[in-house]
Structure 1
Amino acid sequence: MNKQELIEQIAASADISKAAAAKVIDAFTDSITSALKKGDSVTLIGFGTFAVSERAARTGRNPQTGAELQIAARKAPAFRPGKALKDALN
């Protein structure tokens, strides 16, 4: 499912316009992004938790030449599914 299909499904199930559904999705993703930028986690009970994971600096290898290179530390988004979501899939 892509973003447009998600907009259509939300608009149909919530009985709102596609434009309104698109605004809701954009506001939702913007809110989660800004919370993660601040270092906060976002927990949706029953669905899951969005959080930031820290990845340490490490040494990697160029697969073509075999030369070592340094990979910088970085932050990465992470999602942990909640129990209700896991149960719904099994």
Structure 2
Amino acid sequence: MNKKELVEQVAEQANLSRSKAELVVNAFVHQTQESLARGGVVQLIGFGTFSVTDRAARKGRNPQTGQEIHIPACKLPQFKPGNKFRDLIK
């Protein structure tokens, strides 16, 4: 499912126009990104938790040359599904 299809599904399920449903989807994405950028966590009970995790610096290899390279530490977004979501997938 892509964003356009998600907007259409939200519009249909919530009985909204497509433009209003797109505003809702965009607002959710924006607020989630803003919260994570500030170091926060977005927890949706039954769905899952979006958070940021620290990834340590490590050594890697350039696949073309085989030369060892340093990969710097970074922060990565992470999603952990909730129990209801996990059970639905099983």
1:30-51 deviation digits (Å, cap 9, x = unpaired)? 0000110011111000000000
The residue that corresponds to 1:28 in the other structure is 28
- Asked if 1:71 corresponds to 2:74, the answer is no
Question: Superposed, which structure 2 residues align to 1:12-27 within 5 Å?
Answer: 12-27=12-27
User: Percent of aligned positions with the same letter in both sequences?
Assistant: 50
Please list every run of at least 4 consecutive aligned residues from structure 1 whose deviation after the TM superposition is greater than 6 angstroms: none
The one-letter code of the counterpart of 1:20 is K
The one-letter code of the counterpart of 1:36 is L
TM-score (norm 1): 0.97
The residue that corresponds to 1:81 in the other structure is 81
Tell me the secondary structure at the aligned position of residue 34 of structure 1: helix
Structure 2 unaligned spans of 5+: none
1:6-55 deviation digits (Å, cap 9, x = unpaired)? 00011011100000000000000000001100111110000000000100
The 2-side partners of 1:68 and 1:86 are apart by: 39
The one-letter code of the counterpart of 1:62 is N
Q: How many residues align?
A: 90
Shift of 1:73: 0.6
Shift of 1:87: 1.2
Supply the RMSD in Å over aligned alpha carbons: 0.6
TM-score (norm 2): 0.97
The residue that corresponds to 1:40 in the other structure is 40
Tell me the secondary structure at the aligned position of residue 51 of structure 1: strand
